[in-house]
Amino acid sequence: MKFRVTIHRIVAWWLAAFAFMRIFAGYAHTRDWAENSERWINIHIIFKWAMFLLLLFHITYTFLYTRMSKTIVKQPKKHWLRLLQHITKCLILAFVLLTLISGFSYYNWTRGALPEWLLEKIHTTFDIGLMLLILAHVLIGFKLMLKRKKINVVWVNIFLIVVGMGLLAFYIYLEATPPAH
């Protein structure tokens, strides 16, 4: 059981890392951060498929082996971080499905199912919410991990808030810069 939990947590952290790298590569492509913009779209696609496979494993494991415990439901004030993480998990799943489906418009075999402009609008609009949800989910997970390891000091909480705000500010900056295409 402990081994499965460890694997699940490792996959979760890799999933978060791939999500951030995928989003970064998408912005690098649309903002032309390098001369060869096509390289960034290829990196974005590689991370999309890696994320897709990890997400399938993560979702399968989560639904088969984890349940929202009765303790969380009965005492939501005491376990509000865990409850918030469950809520963000469900919202992330919905947003990921929307961005993945709309992102598949890149391939010839999915073109024509919906208008291109609608798929692009879905992909870019839900990407904003997805990034914010992933950021919240990862920071909550990090806080819970530190709690499990009995690390609960004020400066760690301040550090997590500063990192979260820094990443949020960076993301707002990315959104504020206009796309190149």
Q: Which tens digits make up the pLDDT trace of 90-103? A: 898 888 888 777 77
Inter-residue long-range contacts of 160-167, CB under 8 Å, 24+ positions, other chains counted: 163/139, 164/135, 164/136, 164/139, 167/135
3-state secondary structure of 51: helix
Q: Which single residue is written with the structure tokens 């990890």?
A: 54
pLDDT score at 178: 73
The neighbour count for residue 128, using CB atoms within 10 Å, is 14
Contact 160, 142 (CB under 8 A): yes
Structure tokens at 31: 């903002």
The set of residues, in sequence order, having a beta carbon less than 8 Å from that of 115 and lying 6+ positions away, is: none
Single-letter residue type at 91: L
Single-letter residue type at 59: I
Residues 23-62 pLDDT 10s = 888 888 877 777 777 888 888 888 888 888 888 888 888 7
Residues 115-163 pLDDT 10s = 777 877 877 777 778 888 888 988 888 888 888 888 878 888 888 889 9
pLDDT score at 162: 93
Residue 80 pLDDT level (bands cut at 50, 70, 90): confident
* Positive or negative torsion for Cα 157, 159, 162, 167: negative
Task: Give the residue with greater pLDDT, 63 vs 14.
Answer: 14
Of the listed ranges 33-37, 65-69, 151-155, 167-171, the least confidently predicted one is 65-69
Q: Which single residue is written with the structure tokens 């509000």?
A: 80
Is 173's pLDDT higher than 90? Answer: no
